[in-house]
A and B are shown apart, each in its own frame.
Chain A
């Protein structure tokens, strides 16, 4: 790689010597502009907004003005026990949903990569297909399957004498997790499967000569080789968990056991649209962003250390 990089560098230097040093900037400009306009600026606005508050006085009919209140909105968010609980709820959800989904996606990817499966393309497509269904539609579909009077699944259970309520306070979180697993296993499987294709086939041959079976090859070669892809998919799944919104918001219309602040994102939505307090909800959004960042960094740190340890072992 180092050898390949050298000539490029020389060529680039020639370009700048020709008096056009702005060319590279021109190429990155679209990205930088969109990044600034649609990511950096909104974050800046949200942070700025979160330090303000709309204040009126008396009955409020004398108009209102934006005042600087420092970190008051943040203090209020941390004191809001429902908002704090919503983080605990999605973390509990994530601790279960992400591993379950990753294990299923990983097993399927290994299965498709092995020689065991016939009609591989068809099954891969079948597993991937739910991902193509928009999240809201998926929640609506499953919503019908969760309601006793219209759900063939629950009716089947009932006819067997088993009473199930998939929308009860204790089960509704897992009913949401089920939708997320159904929707997202496919894309993770595809990413892991694609990563498996890049593993040099000679390594399997070498392992077989050393007497390793298929299971041993999967465990000792395939999984370590696709560790970066596993990390990538896990990380995006964890972020998706923290941003949980579509599924519970849709299911909320069929069960009152999902409160308006069931997940952090729902609490933010409720504060901004129902509570009409965009400053407070900005503070909540910044907190969610920071928590997501911290969790991502922690996961990256842990896994980096682990994969380095593994490398030392080899």
Chain B
């Protein structure tokens, strides 16, 4: 009994000691951090600094090139990795955000509504003509422009020539042919599948919804409409439900070692995705070089539409010290003639700029794809993408709802249609909780 009490008291004393130690360390760390900050800030001179966060490969070189040509401006670049994208909002709210950041255009309305970006209409008016109409629309809200478009994601279908040759099946041009091909491939080899359906990969879903002229959001007067379960989505849902129910697709999560093993094993005949995907495929499935070609995304009956999974934009954040300098750099980075080749070849972007689309760098044969000029396919797709998609305010919530529900579809707990209905309800409920008006 006495011993017991002693033990617990000893334990408490030990804990108190440990805490005191931790306190001392925290205080020391605090001191050194603040003194370090003080010495750093004295270095800044009379030049304007622009903090820029982005993820496109090769931006470092372009930033250096700009800094050399513009002595009055110092652009400092931070490469975004991991969940840096999710830190931007907190950083802006704390007044510690960068001046310029690269964003998915799906996220832009949220930034506009929450007042975290600045309109830059007055600084970028002269580059409007260099951008495709749909790209410019994606950064325009009301009368104001909130960013400079940086690349889009037109869709194409990568396919294994060896598999289609082996089974004597024609490469599908329509979704009806696609289903027939799926059945034929699986019948010819029970280990072969037409595609992998990754429930978490929202871009693959979105490009087909957009192809079918659907949209998650719309505007009706002064209210939002939500179309997560619109007719176009239900058409796509019916297609994949059939493929899933008949066991014609695998359901690995994309980007995992498991997924790349599957792709490398030659069990998957097609991958439909955006223009930035081919270089990643070449990188992760190097052994299959020469076996892949790219065809247009299969079409729906009576339509020549293709799809797009979304693009990016460079935006000037709230609290940027010199919005004019920041916007000027963003415009140079994305729209000047001298940057187009680097953005396409090093950055792997598919341009939404007219000088980029006309660039020779874009239409180069790709050895991994049997020297096919793959961007011809994506350029056609960009031209055939309907402009029906509308970006909306709670994209993050909608996307999470959809992918969470889709996970239960591939395990057979529910159908795509039920999943879409649930995600629709969750998206509407979230909009209403923000006080936004929703027309149902």
Interfacial residues, chain A to chain B (CB-CB below 8 A): 30-31, 34, 53-61, 63-64, 76, 82, 144, 147-150, 168-169, 195, 198-200, 225-229, 232, 253-257, 259-261, 270, 273-277, 280, 311, 314
Contact = CB atoms under 8 A, between A and B. Distances in A.
Interface of A is mostly: loop
Nearest to B22: A34
Interface residues of B, number: 57
Contacts of B436: 56-60
Contacts of A169: 411, 413
Contacts of B113: 56, 60-61, 64
A253 B27 CA distance: 37
10 contacts: A56-B435, A58-B223, A61-B113, A64-B435, A228-B7, A232-B11, A254-B258, A256-B253, A256-B410, A260-B404
B103 to A, nearest CB: 13
A54 B262 CA distance: 45
Interface of B is mostly: helix
Contacts, number: 135
Of A59, A76, A82, A225, most buried by chain B (CB within 10 Å of CB) is A59
B187 to A, nearest CB: 24
Interface string B78-100: 00000100100100000000000
Contact of A254 (B7, B253, B413): B253
B258 A149 contact: yes
A275 B7 contact: no
B293 to A, nearest CB: 26
B89 A274 contact: no
A150 B219 CA distance: 48
B404 A261 contact: yes
B404 A257 contact: no
Contacts of B255: 253
A64 B115 contact: yes
Contact of A228 (B8, B19, B222): B8
B433 interface: yes
A78 B396 CA distance: 21
Contacts of B261: 149-150
A152 B86 CA distance: 35
Contact of B397 (A56, A82, A275): A275
Contact of A226 (B7, B20, B141, B257): B7
Contact of A31 (B3, B23, B393): B23
A61 B396 contact: no
Given A57-B435, A57-B437, A60-B393, A256 B7 contact: no
B142 interface: yes
Contacts of B224: 59
